[in-house]
Amino acid sequence: MNFPDYRPRRMRRTEGLRRMIRETRLSVDDFVYPLFVVPGSGVEKPIGSLPGQFNFSVDKATDAASRAADLGIPSVLLFGIPERKDAVGSEAWKEGGVVQKAIRSIKKARPELVVQADACFCEYTDHGHCGVLHEGELDNDASLENLARTVVSYAKAGVDVVAPSGMLDGFVGACRESLDEDGFDQVAIMAYSAKYASAYYGPFREAVNSAPQSGDRRGHQMDYANVAEAVREASMDAAEGADIVMIKPALAYLDVIRAVSDEVNLPIAAYAVSGEYAMIEAAAERGWIDKERIVMETLTGIRRAGADIIITYHAPYAAKLLAKS
Ligand code: PBG
Ligand code: ZN
């Protein structure tokens, strides 16, 4: 294929030609919309560093989920902020906890919506670490027991997918085993398989007030310099019974998405995290970038890298743009 016989520009000449040879398509079907649920009712509190995102009480979260469903978004991912935090994060597995209530309420209002729930303890512990501490260190196996309780309590509330996010060793196997034992073999697991220790989570930690009181998460989240290790993690989670493997963050980790999707034969999710959203919103607000085009280009790039599913705060915004186009 040599010039002048082959002229690549010929197929770029019109939108019709470009449509015919487009390799990656973005669809509302790809989106998962994260929601932050707080105690109370009638609460719809804006999150300062995530303009357009809110802390919702269960009733308001149900309305937001319903609006997402109206836009054709197939799924929401729930995060909870508890009434009270304690040393082990026991509200995470309370039958009447905010996430459990939100699952029941959203499934009742919109049974067709795929309800996923994040399962971790950093939002629930008074020290902000992702599990039980033993002599100041995260106790992996003790934390797994609480994780198993938490995902079963979500399953009892009617969740479709649990999303363990603590990057604890063996967390997928522990979730699968406890769900199966309690008769929830149909509840799926989306594993945060390659979750990096990232500065991109800053706005999220403000939203859920989960910054660790001391130290950081580099002892259990991944080093951002590594990619082979991500493939190893995702392969382990696949072997332990994950139904979806996730890479997080997305934008600075497109090579990781590619590497994992080449290696692991499961649906691949990518989480475009709070810092990614905040950067786009801040620059757009200043008029420095064209938000519509940046959002579409960014989400398409994440799909092109190999993600089947994108978890994004821009889901409703992008769904509206796609409906227009
Ligand atoms: C932990 C969790 C985090 C995010 C999702 N689940 C943050 C962390 O590890 O501190 C980040 C999401 C985002 O930044 O949008 N439960
Ligand atoms: Zn955590």
pLDDT (tens digit, 9 = 90+) per residue, 232-290? 999 999 999 999 999 999 999 999 999 999 999 999 999 999 999 999 999 999 999 99
Q: Which of 120, 146, 213, 216 to mutate to test the pocket of ligand 1 (most atoms within 8 A of CB)?
A: 120
Hey, which residues are catalytic here? 195, 248
pLDDT attached to residue 166: 93
pTM (predicted TM-score): 0.97
Residue 256 lies in a domain: yes
Query: What is the tally of structural domains in the chain?
Result: 1
25: buried, middle or exposed (CB in 10 Å: 19+, 13-18, 0-12)?
exposed
Residue 111 lies in a domain: yes
pLDDT attached to residue 217: 85
pLDDT at 202 over 90: yes
Task: Provide the pairing of β-strand 114-119 with 75-80.
Answer: parallel
The Cα–Cα gap between 53 and 285 comes to: 15
Closest ligand to the CA of 171: 2
* Three state DSSP letters for 233-286: HHHHHHHHCCCEEEEECCHHHHHHHHHHHHHCCCCEEEEECHHHHHHHHHHHHC
Q: Which of 33, 53, 122, 217 to mutate to test the pocket of ligand 1 (most atoms within 8 A of CB)?
A: 122
Q: Among 237, 71, 112, 73, which Cα is nearest to 166's?
A: 237
pLDDT at 145 over 90: yes
The Cα–Cα gap between 148 and 164 comes to: 10
pLDDT attached to residue 210: 80
The Cα–Cα gap between 275 and 217 comes to: 17
The Cα–Cα gap between 216 and 197 comes to: 8
Residue 152 lies in a domain: yes
- What's the 1 CA to ligand 1 centre distance in angstroms? 47
Cβ distance 115 to 161 under 8 Å? Answer: yes
The Cα–Cα gap between 307 and 250 comes to: 9
Taken in order 305, 306, 308, 313, is the CA torsion positive or negative? negative
Residues with CB under 6 A from ligand 1: 118, 120, 122, 165, 201, 204-205, 210, 217, 273-274
Cβ distance 121 to 131 under 8 Å? Answer: yes
Phi/psi region, residue 40 (left: phi>0; alpha: psi -120 to 50; beta: rest), is: left
From the CA of 202, give the closest atom in ligand 1: 14
pLDDT attached to residue 49: 92
Task: Provide the pairing of β-strand 133-134 with 137-138.
Answer: antiparallel
Closest ligand to the CA of 121: 2
Contacts of 246 (CB under 8 A, 6+ apart): 163, 190, 191, 192, 193, 194, 195, 268, 269, 270, 271, 311
Contacts of 158 (CB under 8 A, 6+ apart): 103, 104, 107, 115
Residue 17 lies in a domain: no
Distance between alpha carbon 262 and the CA centroid of its chain, in Å?
21
Residue 301 lies in a domain: yes
CATH of the domain at 168: 3.20.20.70
- What's the 201 CA to ligand 1 centre distance in angstroms? 6
What is the extent of the structural domain holding 93?
Answer: 23-324
Q: What would the mean pLDDT of 103-122 be, rounded to a whole number? A: 98
The band of 219, judged by pLDDT with boundaries at 50, 70 and 90, is confident
Residue 6 lies in a domain: no
The residue whose CA has the least distance to atom 6 of ligand 1 is 165
The Cα–Cα gap between 81 and 192 comes to: 19
Give, as one character, the DSSP assignment of residue 223: P
The Cα–Cα gap between 65 and 78 comes to: 10
The Cα–Cα gap between 45 and 277 comes to: 18
Residue 11 lies in a domain: no
pLDDT (tens digit, 9 = 90+) per residue, 37-88? 999 999 999 999 999 999 999 999 999 999 999 999 999 999 999 999 999 9
Cβ distance 137 to 219 under 8 Å? Answer: yes
Q: What would the mean pLDDT of 8-14 be, rounded to a whole number? A: 97
pLDDT attached to residue 96: 96
User: Which residue(s) pair with 312 in the sheet?
Assistant: 272
Residue 18 lies in a domain: no
Mean pLDDT score across all residues of the chain: 96
